[in-house]
Amino acid sequence: MEVKGDIKDRGKIKWTAMMLPEHLAELRDWHAEDELDPKPELNEDDMQLLQEELEIAFMKRTDAVITTWRAGKKDTYIGKIVRLDPAQQTISVDGPFGKDYILVGDIINVRTI
């Protein structure tokens, strides 16, 4: 006797056909939320260390690895910090793919290379 598919697959197909498009959209959003990284909690000491690392990388003109968190996703930038702009709360990083502007509030980790 040959079995086509799994028993669980049959139930999934059965219930999916009965769902409204709005339900499917909500389920997709729900699954997308599960893939998001929670924002790390930074205390005053962590913020002070970030500031010191940024200043060291800027003054010495060394490459830095900067990790940011925005809207549930972590991004990593690598390059030299060429400008610190306290008025706009941004830094400029000259990396291998061009210049990037990063908001200081999004930075969660800085490491000099």
- Residue-wise pLDDT for 36-90, tens only, equals 778 888 899 999 999 999 999 999 999 999 999 988 889 999 999 999 998 999 9
The first and second tokens of residue 29, run together, are 């959003």
**CB-based burial label for 104 (10 Å; 0-12, 13-18, 19+):** middle
Domain residue ranges in the chain:
44-112
pLDDT of residue 41: 87
pTM above 0.85, yes or no: no
- With beta carbons less than 8 A apart as the criterion, state whether 47 and 106 touch: no
Q: What CATH number does domain 44-112 carry, 2.40.10.410, 3.40.50.620, 2.30.30.520, 3.30.70.260?
A: 2.30.30.520
